[in-house]
A and B are shown apart, each in its own frame.
Chain A
Amino acid sequence: MPTNKKMQDRRSRELKPTTSARFTAALLAAVSLATANLGFPANPAVAQTPTSGSATRIPRTPLKIAKSPTIARDSRESVAHLLNRVTYGIRPGDIEKVQEMGVKNYLSRQLSPDSIELPESIVKVSQVPALTETPVELFRNFGKPALKALVQNKGKTEAGKKELQKVVRETYGRLYGDAVQAHFVRAVESPRQLQEVMVDFWFNHFNVSSDKGLDHIWVGHYEETAIRPYALGRFRDMLGATAHHAAMLFYLDNWQNTTASLNPTVNKKGKSRFKGINENYARELMELHTLGVDGGYTQKDVQELARVLTGLGLPPGAGGGMGIRNLQQRRAMMQNEQAQNGQAQLSPFMRRRMQNGVRNFGAPVTAQSIQGDAKSGSYFDPRRHDNGTKVVVGHTIAPGGEREIEEALDILARHPSTARHISYKLAQYFVADKPPDSLVQKMAATFTRSDGQIAQVMNTLFESDEFWSSQYRNKKFKSPHRYIVSSLRATDATIANPGPLLAFLKQAGQPLYKCLTPNGYKNTQEAWLNPDSLINRLNFATALGANRLPGLKVNGANDVTESLATVSEKTVSAIEKAPPPLRQSLVLGSPEFMMY
């Protein structure tokens, strides 16, 4: 693309002198900010804060951080801090905009995202099958062809391999690509920034991995329908939506969770896809999604909750096939261990079955033929449900089929341990790796009072003195994901192809939508600051700043220093000494840009 390059060259030539001057001016302005910041530790009130911080051990004495050290909330540096936490990173001009509309006004709009209009480009990017088709449709239109190709072609011939790759690209690949593109465009450009950030928080809280079998096709829809609508809504609603979504049912194996008493009737060897209790989801539901690991439940509670959840699985015809009714005729299939993992594509039985006409997945899926809830891709099979009485964290749940699940989710969502667990995680994400207990307590109180209204809990967070305290500013280390998204925001980049972003995240150990473990990606410095990954960031910064990442186009005229909330003189002098074309890269790779 010679024309492009020429244009680029011309642009950088034209801009060089001005850019250089602008850089220095902006940096000097930023330094004076930094100096202002530096002035604060000299203030005795602040100097004492860390010490009094350790006094949080004194129970029931909420840490009262004196108002005096807190810089006025509408000051430039305060707004920069707010934007650092509310958004994926400051864009040039953002600070002034917020100052103009007022911090209170800005926050209230961010807390009710529907009040902010979305540009056409943002709406458009989400109108893709990966996000709009139901799990059942996705299974039919993408999952089935992929499975079929996998069983028919795997490794047979070179041509077969090519054909297989093509199908996988057009199914798994296309859905992932569309979901990823929507993710990055919204994260970088959406004016509803808090919603985007909250979606990231909750997706990781209720993590599923697109690398696991059928979750290849469901992960986008999961985020779109089970997480996004509730990210600032009611916790209980999101808990219910995730519990019933095909992606979660598959990821944590609850689709196989079946009453133990049914087992002998399945077959003589006790084998089938449904071979008794599977506790995986029940355990993570308490440990990760609600109560927290120290939330006061026992292994017995896990077992009881697993019994409550028996029968909640995938719709027949959309991955959950083989109703109990047909088990006898499908003995051969049941004996096949592979099917137990939902990875039927690799088993010889399924391979034969596919070659012989694909009966099992062959029937057209219509609204009428689908049992259960097509929208979430779940199906409650009463025949696989344990009809006994259960006791979960001290509550007796009478036999009631599907209703028991709602009852259990109610109990868990309203448990005080849940209020605390969620509040702690939110405070850690938005305030500090080790969040002040006083703040967690306030948030938990709001959580309980509001019956889990997340926007209200966040309001408590943003109104707290702790949030605004200068001791927490610029102290969070960006995750690789936040690092690249903030880079793209700072440089006003357009994303034609997210390939380089995905490659970076993979290398950094944070591949998008592919966290293997159910606890999701962490967001602490301890998890992400390591030598390899820091060097990788510098390489990324250099390439992006020089506009050399294919598929990404940065706005070279952008003054990225406006995205720094603070900057040291050391950084300024390093940038001033560097050749001008390198300066944008250096800002993106500066120690200050690693923090937020």
Chain B
Amino acid sequence: MNRRDFLKTAGLTAASFLMPNVQVWAKTAATAQNQAATNKLVVVFLRGAIDGLSVVVPYGDQRYYKVRNNIAIPTPGNELGALDLNGEFGLNPALAPLMPLWKNGSLSFILNTGSPDPTRSHFDAQDYMESGCPGKKSTSTGWLNRLLAQLPDNHSPVRALNIGTTTPRILQGPVASATFKAELRRRPTAIDNEVIASSFERMYEGRGDSLERAFLDGMDARTTINNKLSGEMMQANGGAVVANRFSAFGRQLGKLMSEEPKVQVAFVDLGGFDTHVNQGNGKGQLANHLQVLGKGLSDLAASLGETYSRTTILVMSEFGRTVKENGNNGTDHGHGNFIWALGGAVKGGQLLGRWDGLSDGALYENRDLPVRTDFRSVISSVAGDHLQLSSRQLQTIFPDFTPEKVPGILKA
């Protein structure tokens, strides 16, 4: 064991001694601020523009069935029918793993949300939703990074987790994040080799400069993630079948966040939602993706354990899809969509936002769901309450924007 490993182990031990105490203390005598300091935000980005109407199905509206002959989800009670939410709307049956969360009151949807920018280009819309500055292309940082900069700096190399291989636009900026790939088998890289690692340690340690700090943080983040996940990997490998690459994200992220108290935000993105052709309904292309997503989110909720109560998960997509189906049993690029909110702090079991139905007059350009609530208002409302950010701080995260308060997302 070298010096650094020793320090790290000592640090972890100290932390694990302290942690229960902190939590007890937090529960009994928590001030809002201390509570907020440990609250967490997870952003799940669905790339390709998910069809919101196939997630939360307005089965009570006859128009829905009129404009979607081939891809509508049947009413509740029918084969592959929607799972009833409130007597008018139902959940895609592929999202069944999320029903318990709806029922226990920790899952809500905010309807008709999105970006005010009218673009229907994935490229531009994702860019705007991640930079948080619709219409302003030269914004170089992502809003999640600017948000991190407003949270108390706990000096942890894993305060921001990114699941994937590259730092996405939303996390780009001055605050470093740790990236890891959610996969069933961890492939060791060169730096995991003891001889190689110690050689580089000899070079970088004790320089007292920013290179040393980056090196140590990088090695620490790696060790933390590898250690926390090694057990989880073994478990998963027992299952033999290697499912698609997202199946592991929920469990792994949940485990890391529950065991590593300094994680403040996490980001994960999933693709494959650009369903122009053969979208399917309760089964098929989209349902297959939703199954993975629903399972991943419910695994995440479960493996977060007690931490779930202090976590808010927002699921969003760059824009919505056309209300009418197209000639290829699919849907095309639209405008408004739904944001999903999950977590112990969420006042669940609700459909929030302004819903005007599906009549032509209620639609944007007679074809798409409208945007009634700016996505930045949703984020600001959650970040303001859940992470205790002031309106001045929110201004820094979303410059040149005055958020509207979206009431009722979180428990009072």
List residues of A whose CB falls within 8 A of some B CB: 154-156, 211-213, 252, 280, 284, 287-288, 337-338, 340-341, 343, 346-348, 351-352, 506-509, 516-519, 522, 525-526, 529-532, 534-535, 538-539, 542-543, 568, 570-571, 573-575, 577-579, 582, 585-586, 589-591, 594
Is B140 touching A338 in the complex (CB atoms < 8 A)? no
Give the chain B neighbours of A534 by CB distance below 8 A. 211, 214-215, 218
Give the chain B neighbours of A582 by CB distance below 8 A. 195-196, 199
Distance between Cα atoms of A430 and B328 in the complex (Å):
54
- B84 on the A face (CB < 8 A): no
- B207 on the A face (CB < 8 A): yes
Give the chain A neighbours of B191 by CB distance below 8 A. 535, 538-539, 542
Instruction: Other than A519-B138, A535-B219, give 5 A-B pairs with Cβ distance below 8 A.
Output: A156-B277, A509-B166, A519-B140, A535-B191, A542-B191
Q: Which of B119-127, B289-297, B379-387, B400-408 contacts A (4 or more CB under 8 A)?
A: B119-127
Is A531 touching B332 in the complex (CB atoms < 8 A)? no
**Chain A facing B: main interface SS:** helix
Closest 9 CB pairs between A and B?
A531-B218, A574-B202, A542-B190, A341-B121, A531-B217, A535-B218, A530-B176, A574-B203, A155-B277
Distance between Cα atoms of A534 and B214 in the complex (Å):
7
Given known A348-B326, A348-B327, A348-B328, contact A538–B176 (CB-CB < 8 A): no
A-contacting residues, B220-257, CB 8 Å: 221-222
B164 (CB) vs chain A CBs: closest residue: A507
Q: Which of B28-36, B61-69, B100-108, B167-175 contacts A (4 or more CB under 8 A)?
A: B167-175
Beta-carbon contacts of B290-323 to A below 8 Å, as 1s and 0s?
0000000000000000000000000000000000
Instruction: Pick 29 A–B contacts, CB within 8 A, sort by A.
Output: A156-B277, A337-B333, A337-B365, A338-B332, A341-B124, A343-B121, A346-B333, A347-B332, A348-B326, A352-B327, A507-B166, A508-B166, A516-B127, A517-B137, A522-B140, A530-B176, A530-B214, A531-B157, A531-B215, A531-B221, A532-B176, A532-B178, A534-B218, A535-B219, A538-B196, A538-B200, A568-B207, A570-B206, A574-B203
Give the chain A neighbours of B189 by CB distance below 8 A. 539
Give the chain B neighbours of A532 by CB distance below 8 A. 167, 176-179, 218, 221
A-contacting residues, B183-197, CB 8 Å: 189-191, 195-196
Give the chain B neighbours of A287 by CB distance below 8 A. 138
Given known A530-B176, A532-B218, contact A577–B202 (CB-CB < 8 A): yes
Nearest Cβ distance between residue B405 and chain A, in whole angstroms? 29
Is B203 touching A571 in the complex (CB atoms < 8 A)? yes
Is B222 touching A338 in the complex (CB atoms < 8 A)? no
Give the chain A neighbours of B178 by CB distance below 8 A. 531-532
- B2 on the A face (CB < 8 A): no
B180 (CB) vs chain A CBs: closest residue: A532
Distance between Cα atoms of A586 and B197 in the complex (Å):
10
Is A154 touching B276 in the complex (CB atoms < 8 A)? yes
Is B211 touching A529 in the complex (CB atoms < 8 A)? yes
A543 (CB) vs chain B CBs: closest residue: B190
Nearest Cβ distance between residue B279 and chain A, in whole angstroms? 10
Given known A531-B157, A542-B196, A578-B195, contact A338–B120 (CB-CB < 8 A): yes
Contact of B138 among A337, A517, A529 (CB under 8 A): A517
B221 (CB) vs chain A CBs: closest residue: A531
B279 (CB) vs chain A CBs: closest residue: A155
Nearest Cβ distance between residue B267 and chain A, in whole angstroms? 13
B365 (CB) vs chain A CBs: closest residue: A337
Give the chain B neighbours of A518 by CB distance below 8 A. 137-138
Distance between Cα atoms of A211 and B365 in the complex (Å):
28
Give the chain B neighbours of A577 by CB distance below 8 A. 199, 202
